[in-house]
């Protein structure tokens, strides 16, 4: 899962949100240096990633786009799934997207000083660009994918991948619908047990 899902699965705890958001930047046992609530978020992030990587429906989506994305297929599916989450937002949460996004932006802004330096460098542009809103439209998704491609050495065929995704969006949506309710349950279970 990508930013939108990670943030939603942290709601309504801003400290869990911060930990979940920085999770990719916190390696090994360095998570132990953070407060207990931020630690919960970092460990939630790892739980989400592990569950996602091992889910059969996600693996089916990854296999479907491998010809276009190669070794980057899994993170590309994370991005595509955030778009599907936004398209079906009301199906998964009663929280209005605008209220959720503002909560996330403000919570992350408050936690800026605790973000690892590489993320601190990226955060002002992400915040100014309302990065969560980008997943809501096709044009926004294309922008996110192009930004992702810029960070890669080569091998991501966005010009072929995105038309393929939209031509087969019902199939990808079925994968997502098989996966995301279970992901919601897994995250709730993790948070209630920690």
Can you tell me which residue has the tokens 């699965």?
9
Q: For 52-61, write each residue's pLDDT tens digit.
A: 999 999 999 9
Q: For 151-194, write each residue's pLDDT tens digit.
A: 777 768 889 999 999 999 999 999 999 999 999 999 999 999 98
Q: What is the pLDDT of residue 194?
A: 86
Q: What Å distances lie between residue 82 and 36, 147, 189, CA to CA?
A: 28, 15, 21
Q: For 97-153, write each residue's pLDDT tens digit.
A: 999 999 999 999 999 999 999 999 999 989 998 999 989 999 999 988 988 888 777
- The ranges assigned to domains in the chain are 3-193
Cis amide leading into 55 (omega within 30): no
Q: What is the pLDDT of residue 155?
A: 67
- pTM above 0.85? yes
Structural tokens at position 112: 């800026």
């Amino acid at each position: 899962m990508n930013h939108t899902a990670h943030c939603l699965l942290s709601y309504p705890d801003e400290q869990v949100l911060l930990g979940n958001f920085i999770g990719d930047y916190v390696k090994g046992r360095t998570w132990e240096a953070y407060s207990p609530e931020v630690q919960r978020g970092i460990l939630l992030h790892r739980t989400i990633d592990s569950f996602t990587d091992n889910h059969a429906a996600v693996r089916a989506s990854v296999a479907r786009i491998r010809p276009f994305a190669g070794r980057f297929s899994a993170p590309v599916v994370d991005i595509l799934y955030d778009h599907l989450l936004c398209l079906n937002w009301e199906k998964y949460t009663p929280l209005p997207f605008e209220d959720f996004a503002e909560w996330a932006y403000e919570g992350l802004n408050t936690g800026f000083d605790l973000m690892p330096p590489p993320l601190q460098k990226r955060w002002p542009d992400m915040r100014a660009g309302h990065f969560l809103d980008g997943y809501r439209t096709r044009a926004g998704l294309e922008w996110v994918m192009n930004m992702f491609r810029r960070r890669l050495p080569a091998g991501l065929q966005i010009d072929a991948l995105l038309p393929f995704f939209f031509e087969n969006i019902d199939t990808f949506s079925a994968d997502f619908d098989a996966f995301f309710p279970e992901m919601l349950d897994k995250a709730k279970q993790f948070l209630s047990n920690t």
